[in-house]
Structure 1
Amino acid sequence: MRTRFMARIFTTAAFALVLVMSSFAMISPSYADETTMATGEGQVRIQGERVRYRTEAGDTVITNEDGQPIASIFSTAYFRTDVRDGHTRPITFVFNGGPGSSSVWLHLGLYGPKKIVVPSDAENPGAAPYDFRDNPHSLLDVSDLVFIDPVGTGFSRAVGEGRNSDFWGVQKDARVLAEFIRQFVTKHNRWNSPKYLSGESYGTARVGALLAELQHGWGSMTFNGVHLISSIVDFQTTRVTEGNDMPYIMYLPTYAATAWYHDALPNRPDELEPFLDEVRQFALEEYSVALLQGSRISPEAHARVVEKLHQYTGLSTSYIEQTRLRIVPHRFFRELLRDRGQVVGRLDSRFIGIESDDAGERPIADPSAYGIDGAYTAAINYHLRNNLNVNRSDEYRILSGQVFAGWDWSLPRGQQQGFHNLAPHFAVTQQRNKDFRIFIANGYYDAATPFFATEHSFSNYGMDTDRVVMKYYESGHMMYIHHPSLEQLSQDLRAFYRGE
């Protein structure tokens, strides 16, 4: 019996290895076809210390098994030069999300040696010229940095035999970016460096998919840790679909924080965090049970839940009755401040906007998105040409709706229905790598990736919570645009690099 069982394991493992080897053969390394990298030098004062660095920005060509180019991945790398042994210095691979976003936000908002400064308190920065300066909170003092633009964003694109559809999907995207990381690590002799992945928003799901690609097979690349900025790794927690009650539970603390910030609560408490603890408890206990009961709930219990939702969200009891206790996110953004003629932001619910239609069901646009896009677009285009020596006329795509619309959300083989859930990959990585740690940054006013959903995802699947660092900031999805949050986040990340 034992022999048969072991044989079955060997057969399965061997078959898996064949699949992995054949899969990776399709995008084998080839440096001969790489384009020339633009290089430069610079210095910046970080935490009061002068840091010298060199830059490398350009394309890395990925080829198929026949050596034909299929994708060109644009990256920007910063290497600290005033250190002795750069080959064993930490290196962090950074990307944003979307899907369809370039890495500009984390590049010029948090990690890089230059940053764009936008108003801290949810105000519109207006038009150029913008405040673009050295970043005293950059993480370059503690880690070399590589900013990656996925295919269809930045300057990255499908080339030759490649098609966009080959790279626009959860597994497809992870596979080509994993190959880029392998090539980069090999080319720059960084196999013995402590390695980190950093993603924001969908980029946190990408981190999970990359861990599965890079660390869960034979001949794997191990990572010391990951940074998850505004995390979404289990899509059931936020996808509003018929029959899925999870989002209503997971969004409730974010609704409460938003209403608290805008002084829209009937009885606003003085302090936010104790209030949110109360809302969390209600969401997990009384509210979740009420949704599960449906029409079986007693009239008394129903009335209690309606009143609590009114107290916690600021929405009227009559409106809550109409929702059947299920408050849809985009409706909340429109409804909360309707009597003031305002809508609240999704990426950062501190932002407010004024629209032409006060009777709409949802906001026409996200005021927290159009409030900062212009500044970041101007900054990256200036930085590329004036600091990184990248002189090219094609468009650097900050965001691509084409990528988002064309994304392949199909589930892996054997998982025929349900939602993408990358959370188990983090637990498996912990189990197989004793040094692997997870840092998670949450914005209280992030209504795109609610913090309560993240708490749920990293409290399950056998996750070792002793190796999960969970931090909170009084800002939104991009908490680093809030100056006090940026300062605190940079300190928290430094502590994480130190193993604290």
Structure 2
Amino acid sequence: MHKSLALVASLTLMGCSIVSAPVTAEEAPNNHKRMLPVDTEVVTEHSVEIKGETVDYTATAGTQPVWDDEGNPTASLFYTYYERQDVDNRESRPIVYSFNGGPGSASVWMHIAYTGPKVLNLSDEGYPVQPYGVQDNPHSILDVADIVFINPVNTGYSRVLPNEEGEMPSREKQKDMFFGVNADVKYLAEWMNTFTSRMNRWQSPKYLIGESYGTTRVSGLALELQNSQWMYLNGVVLVSPTDIGIDRDGPVKQANQLPYFAAAAWYHDALPEALQSKDLDELLPEVESFTLNEYLPALAKGAMLPDDAREQMAEQVAKYSGLSKQAVLDNNLAPSTWYFWKELLRDRDRTIGRLDSRYLGLDEKRAGDRPDFNAELTSWLHSFTPAINYYLREELNFVTDIKYNMFGPVHPWDRTNNNTGKQLRQAMAQNPYLNVLVQSGYFDGATNYFDAKYTTWHLDPSTQMTDRIDFKGYRSGHMMYLRRADLEKANDDLREFIRKSDSKGKPAEYK
């Protein structure tokens, strides 16, 4: 049950006047314009049982402006903020700022499938179940931390705003303001400063969590918040991380795919019996060792690799990947992921998913070197899109005719000068409190788990902060939390991470 409390502080565009009105969303006037108020919120009351404990909380669904240097609103970001109510000392209670990726993706994925108080109606393995909708999340981290889910410009309900003359900035200007690695980090850090002040959370331990491209975002934010907003963090969580600007091209990129190939082939019973009979926890260390000590050096030799060594390497790669030796040879010992998704189950007339290779697809033709579509993404859009539109409108009472952008128009995205991995390392060096947790699914073929491990190894080459960097793997894909068992495990890992990085009473100093 929930009760609408108020819709407050609607900032209009004409003259930037403030109207404070304690009206419910249903009572809000309809001006027949398909646009959101620039600055507004709807607060509702709820409760959920987490770990056998009843947690009462408020949910604030609202918009907050992005300001330019002159104090004019240039965009408005939609957010959803969950705050536990039976808290005596809010200043000691952690807050988690949550971002998804894309770039161009809304915050919907982790919002209603991972850490929030509601999750999708899914099967135990993560497939959509009708009727579409949400249910209570008994594993949410809301028992230990408040959470805000933030939608960057043009995702969810967030939008670029016209100026006082009603003119929209040019596409090139918008790119400079919002749509690039560094522009994204800069305006979001400023927005977070305002949000933190409004919600009185400056004293709270602060955490960032980002998924996929969101890991690039939060890695850059860690340093930007410290250097430009004077906001220091206790933790950064990288879920299914990108390269965050850490170079792994060439043979490294090719070799790092093999452990993922082995995991996906193992899941689909496509490995030789001697390997298939092993548990994944036993198989993967074997493949990782081969990758680093034999496969990577062989690929680095290129045409210098002798023919007999090439044949032997092809046999071994075929054994671990589930592909034929000839397929490996035909691809110069390094099959691409697209080819792998098409080829692995070609004889079964099935393709496998990119972001989660547990999912199966059907192609028009058996021939070809890549699947017709991403089987997992269509399944997720199948379930997430109706659920988030229902949930925000019917349960959180945020009523609007604006389209909720699952993926919004943010391209072309400026990827130049991506130094976010180095920025995260620098933030850690400057801040002894700052810890990093990496979470990856073994069956993720887009941001594979071994790449994530490689990132953790190269995040701090000095080895002086490795005790503050941790990796956790899960038996699922890119959104590892969709599988019920991993939803519980991954949230428990977040709880433990928050507990371990609680620095209350500890001085921020190096000995």
What TM-score comes out, normalization by structure 2 length?
0.85
> What is the SS of the residue equivalent to 2:500?
coil
- Give distance in 1, aligned partners of 2:69 and 2:134: 43
1:156, CA displacement in angstroms?
0.6
- Kindly provide the amino acid, as one letter, of the partner of residue 243 in structure 2: V
Q: 1:291 aligns with which of 290, 294, 299?
A: 299
Deviates more, 1:34-43 or 1:149-158: 34-43
Partner of residue 486, structure 2: 485
Q: 1:220 aligns with which of 208, 213, 230?
A: 230
Contact between 2:40 and 2:64, CA under 8 Å: does it hold in 1? no
Shift in alpha-carbon separation, 1:368–1:72, aligned structure 2, 3 A: same
Partner of residue 426, structure 1: 424
Contact between 1:68 and 1:160, CA under 8 Å: does it hold in 2? no
For residues 393-426 of structure 1, the C-alpha deviation after alignment (integer angstroms, 9 at most, x for no partner) is 11011123x32x3211222xxxxxxxx4522222
For residues 298-321 of structure 1, the C-alpha deviation after alignment (integer angstroms, 9 at most, x for no partner) is 222212211110100011111111
> What is the SS of the residue equivalent to 2:257?
helix
For residues 443-480 of structure 1, the C-alpha deviation after alignment (integer angstroms, 9 at most, x for no partner) is 01011111111111111233522111211110000011
Partner of residue 88, structure 2: 84
Deviates more, 1:446-455 or 1:460-469: 460-469
Shift in alpha-carbon separation, 1:303–1:179, aligned structure 2, 3 A: same
1:160, CA displacement in angstroms?
2.2
Shift in alpha-carbon separation, 1:132–1:318, aligned structure 2, 3 A: same
- Give distance in 2, aligned partners of 1:218 and 1:67: 17
- Give distance in 2, aligned partners of 1:31 and 1:209: 34
- Kindly provide the amino acid, as one letter, of the partner of residue 222 in structure 1: Y
Partner of residue 109, structure 1: 113
Contact between 2:220 and 2:421, CA under 8 Å: does it hold in 1? no
Partner of residue 456, structure 1: 454
For residues 249-279 of structure 1, the C-alpha deviation after alignment (integer angstroms, 9 at most, x for no partner) is 1111001100111011123232112211111
1:490, CA displacement in angstroms?
1.3
Say what the alpha-carbon RMSD is for the aligned residues: 1.9
Partner of residue 162, structure 2: 160
Give the count of matched residue pairs. Answer: 454
Contact between 1:238 and 1:449, CA under 8 Å: does it hold in 2? no
Contact between 1:195 and 1:222, CA under 8 Å: does it hold in 2? yes
Deviates more, 1:455-464 or 1:329-338: 455-464
1:131, CA displacement in angstroms?
5.0
Deviates more, 1:85-94 or 1:256-265: 85-94
Deviates more, 1:85-94 or 1:140-149: 85-94
What TM-score comes out, normalization by structure 1 length?
0.87
- Give distance in 2, aligned partners of 1:315 and 1:120: 29
Partner of residue 210, structure 1: 221
Deviates more, 1:92-101 or 1:245-254: 245-254
- Kindly provide the amino acid, as one letter, of the partner of residue 258 in structure 2: L
Shift in alpha-carbon separation, 1:34–1:375, aligned structure 2, 3 A: same
Contact between 1:231 and 1:449, CA under 8 Å: does it hold in 2? yes
- Give distance in 1, aligned partners of 2:352 and 2:246: 24
> What is the SS of the residue equivalent to 2:239?
strand
1:379, CA displacement in angstroms?
1.1
Structure 1 residue runs of 5 or longer lacking an equivalent are 1-29, 412-419
Partner of residue 440, structure 2: 442
> What is the SS of the residue equivalent to 2:392?
helix
- Give distance in 1, aligned partners of 2:154 and 2:477: 26
1:486, CA displacement in angstroms?
0.7
> What is the SS of the residue equivalent to 1:438?
strand
- Give distance in 2, aligned partners of 1:392 and 1:362: 40
Q: How does 1:211-250 map to 2 (within 5 A)?
A: 211-215=222-226, 217=227, 220-234=230-244, 244-250=250-256
Contact between 1:208 and 1:233, CA under 8 Å: does it hold in 2? no
- Kindly provide the amino acid, as one letter, of the partner of residue 105 in structure 1: W
